[in-house]
Structure 1
Amino acid sequence: MKQQERRCPKEDSMRGFFRIAVLFTGICMLVGGVQAAEIKIGFPGPVTGPVQFLGQHMKWGAELAIEEINEKGGVLGQKLSFIMEDSKCAAPEAVAGTEKMLTRDGVAVLMGDICSSATLAVMPIVERAKIPLLVTISTHPGITEKAGAGGNPWVFRTNPQDDALAVAMGKYLAEKKPYKKVAYFAEDTDYGRAGVAAMQKELEPKGIKTQSLDYFKKGESDFVTYLTKVKGAEPDAILLFMLDQELQNFMRQYRQYGLKIPVTGRPALVSALVKDLIASGAFDGSSTIYPYYAGYDDAPNKAFVEKYTKKYGQEPHYVGFEMYEGVKLLAQAIKEAGSTKPEAVREALKKAKGDSILGTIQFDDHHQAHNRALILEVKKGRLEVVELPAT
């Protein structure tokens, strides 16, 4: 018969202490893991396609804001993270990407998209999922019409919508320019068509009549046929609704044809892609209205531009700025809600009063903010801010 193993009381005590220590460490790790869980911000946006250049700036703007927030300890003791699914700026892909982020990634909030058709398609998805969506770039009036008091309580927009931009720009053109007949040229999208309709609604009663109206397909690069037509028609101005890459091609061909007709409306004259073309002097007298311009001479903006340029090697694009301020507002709302629960974040957004480089971000009953925009004009090869209208 084996002799029973004997343990000294001290050894038993040490083993018991070790087991308790292991158990306590496991609990701390579990609790710590919960506290350290990330707050995920989802964004369906263009990683590929004709506006992938803008998608990159959107990602940069969001990530810069997240980096600054996380360096200060995050929100509610948790780090923020950014997940981007490729929408190609198209509704079907935006919907698929949004569904994926909701089911696979468990995002707490959503932002996006740049293209209005994509954003409009995502709105019913977030309404069913009951997740806040912060729109910072899309401008179609239908977004505001359907948000908040319009029926979808989960959608908020920080950037100006087409109608508000048209009111401000229409007033400026009627008061400051001698235009009587204009030619419209816009991308054949919800953005382009809504922009034209809003501008015509403002200009026609002010005596600025439509001479012609033409649309081009997204991604189109050859504008020779249109330029030949408009050169012969001699309108007082060309009202463009055209983003960066198409605008760069348009302006190059415009200059090659020796046109002298000013462009206005909503061309992306703020883009770094057309800076050298503006500097040529060929576009003096042209103008635009935009929600942001990196060259805006203001101390907070200069500080932002310096940080952005140092990190990415490029000045911030308007879309990067809007995403940066949007992420900051979401972080503020989550902090004020004291929770990442969707209903709590939504209620905090409704009451939020966020600081902005251009003013204050505060929502009306349709969850539309009314920050200032910038009217810019090309003078002696330079883009200058001439007005800061409310929207």
Structure 2
Amino acid sequence: MKRLNRRQVVQGMGAAALSPVLGHLPLASAQQGDIVVGAAQPVTGVFAFAGTQMHYGLNDFIQWKNEKGGVQGRRLRYVMEDSGFKVDQGVAIFKKIMAAEKPNFFYCDGTPLVKAITRDAVDSKHVMTSSTSLAAAVADPVATPQNFVPGATYSRLHEVLMEHINRTWKGAEKPRIAYVYTEAEFGIDGIPAAKARAAKLGLPIVAEVITKPGGVGVDVSTEVAKLRRARPNIVVFQGYINSPMPEFARQMKEAGMEVEIYGTAWGLDKPAFDALAAVGQNLTGVSLYATGDEDVPMIREIRQYLNKARPGTTHISPFYISAWFSGMVFAEIADRCLKDKKPLTLDNMKAAMESIKNWDTGGLIGLPVDMSGHETQVGRVIRYNPAKKAMEPAGEWIKA
């Protein structure tokens, strides 16, 4: 998306977050009350590059939905504060908004915050939650009954990736696959499922390289030497949004290795594919959403909204789409409850969400969505096109 500096984002948040554009449509909030969506968004701090997009995505969906009449004539209202991607700060924001607003829905900044507020959310009996987290631990109808992930979990994405590789590999022999992942939860989550699906399909995983979390300047020469000895055809990265993937790619090229580089979800955004392209490597990976497909009805709706709200926007970040999709699920849950004349209690909302089957998301996810397991289980492989300098579809939608 077009670049905004941090001060512009923070200064603009009050009006953008708290004043949805209602247009001329009559909304019955005065009689029935707003449907409140609270959020702790990391718009400053180490995760701000993603947090601003998460904030815009959820806020923009709410404004877009209100312009179309809200949910059963009731207005959605967005109440957000900056968490800085700090768990204690996020918990304080959650408690503050819960006390002041009694929200029906709450958007967290990631896995740690979802886990930290789960007990209080369940005890409240009136709030459902989501976040950018794709961790299997927070797509658990028993352990985190109030939460859903905005797409497929990391486990499902890696299963989709193994299925895609098995279906599309052209070599006479099965491809040799190496995994590189960070020792953080973001990296480890999904690896057991990947190995299990690879074994089922007869795909050899010839190396596993585990790195410490790190950024620019991390020395990966030892790890690249291990990969060179393993001679993979494909190297799959998990748990990185950008660095150190470009450095791995550079050193592998210098070592004479010819490999395809794959990633998942948040590792497929513009910072990663631009940086890899700069060292002559085209990124491939599993996307949660209809990335690069401008013919999709919901992508067209997003484009039209952005043309009005932030003219000049070109790139739509997956973080933006993820938050928009969470908003779609919030609205669908509320709509189902209100149609059935049921109050927005946690039990009713959880049942409504688990009744979402064969749901058309306007093509944002390319197969009918089933949220009964608090995730979608669906993904599609996309690949960087150097001519367009963008990611585009490279395979069919697959349900794990």
TM over 0.5, yes or no? yes
Query: Does residue 1:288 correspond to 2:293, yes or no?
Result: no
Could you give the per-residue CA deviations for residues 92-138 of structure 1, whole angstroms, max 9, x where no partner exists?
Answer: 4433332222123321212334x333323332231122233243531
- What residue in structure 2 maps to residue 322 of structure 1? 322
CA–CA separation in structure 1 for the residues paired with 2:239 and 2:143: 31
Rg larger in structure: 1
Equivalent residues in 2 for 1:300-315 (5 A)? 300-310=297-307, 311-312=309-310, 313-315=313-315
Q: 2:344 aligns with which of 327, 341, 350?
A: 341
Tell me the amino acid that sits aligned with residue 319 of structure 1: F
**Shift in Å at residue 299 of structure 1?**
3.4
CA–CA separation in structure 2 for the residues paired with 1:384 and 1:60: 23
How far residue 164 of structure 1 moved from its aligned partner, in angstroms, is 1.5
Q: Which moved more, 1:336-345 or 1:160-169?
A: 336-345
Residues 203-222 of structure 1 aligned to structure 2 (within 5 Å) = 203-205=198-200, 206-217=202-213, 220-222=215-217
Q: Which has the higher helix share?
A: 1
Letter in 1 for 2:130: V
Distance 1:258 1:362, change over 3 A: closer
> Runs of 4+ in structure 1 displaced over 6 angstroms?
none
Deviations 1:243-299 (A, max 9, x none): 43x34x632673477454321142746412244446558224x42111024312433
Is 1:62 aligned with 2:71? no
Report how many aligned residue pairs link the two structures.
Answer: 350
* Pairing of 1:174-193 with structure 2 (within 5 A): 174-177=166-169, 181-193=176-188
Equivalent residues in 2 for 1:128-207, closer than 5 Å: 128-135=123-130, 137-144=132-139, 146-147=140-141, 150-177=142-169, 181-205=176-200, 206-207=202-203
**Aligned partners of 1:350 and 1:220: how far apart in 2?**
39
Distance 2:97 2:206 in 1: 44
Instruction: Give the gaps of 5 or more residues in structure 2.
Output: 1-27
C-alpha distance in 2 between matches for 1:207 and 1:368 = 26
Q: Classify the secondary structure of the residue corresponding to 2:120.
A: helix
Closer/same/farther in 2, CA of residues 116 and 288 from structure 1, 3 Å limit = same
* Alignment check: 8 A CA contact 2:41 2:108 kept: yes
Task: Give the TM-score normalised by the residue count of structure 1.
Answer: 0.77
The partner residue of 2:96 within 94, 100, 103 is 100
CA contact (8 A) 2:384 2:391 kept: yes
Structure 1, residues 350-373: CA drift from partner, whole Å, max 9, x if none? 334543122333322x43334x31
Match of 1:124 among 99, 109, 119: 119
Q: Aligned equivalents of 2:334 and 2:380: distance in 1?
A: 30
Alpha carbons of 1:125 and 1:189: their partners in 2 closer, same or farther (altered >3 Å)?
farther
Task: Give the corresponding residue for 2:374.
Answer: 367
Residues 257/157 of structure 1: CA separation in 2 closer, same or farther (3 Å cut): closer
Q: Using a 3 Å threshold, how does the CA distance of structure 1 residues 277 and 62 change in structure 2: closer, same or farther?
A: same
CA distance in 1, matches of 2:49, 2:266: 13
Deviation at 1:56, TM superposition (A): 1.0
Which has the larger displacement, 100-109 or 84-93? Answer: 84-93
1:78 Cα deviation from its structure 2 partner: 3.7
Deviation readout 1:39-98 (Å, 9 max, x if unpaired): 220123322232211111111111111112222333354422222333444544433332
How far apart, CA to CA, are the structure 1 residues paired with 2:61 and 2:343? 18
Deviations 1:313-361 (A, max 9, x none): 2422122112212213322332332265324433333334543122333
What's the secondary structure of 1:355's corresponding residue? coil
Moved more, 61-70 or 260-269: 260-269
Partner residue, 1:350:
354
Which of these residues, 260, 271, 280, is aligned with residue 269 of structure 2? 271
CA distance in 2, matches of 1:120, 1:155: 10
The letter for the 1-side match of 2:280 is A
Which secondary structure does the structure 1 equivalent of 2:148 belong to? strand
Would you say the 8 A contact 1:184–1:238 is kept in 2?
A: yes
Change (3 A) 1:85 1:230: farther
Pair 1:179–1:121, CA change in 2 (3 A): farther
Q: How many percent of aligned residue pairs carry the same amino acid?
A: 16
Residues 298, 58 of structure 1: alpha-carbon distance in 2 compared, 3 angstrom cutoff: same
Could you say what secondary structure the match of 2:349 adopts? helix
Q: Root-mean-square deviation (CA), in Å?
A: 3.2
Whether contact under 8 Å (1:185, 1:215) holds in the other structure is: yes
In structure 2, the residue corresponding to 1:360 is in which secondary structure?
coil
Residues 377 and 316 of structure 1, relative CA distance in 2, 3 Å threshold? closer
* Aligned position for 2:67: 71
- Where does residue 11 of structure 2 map in the other structure? none
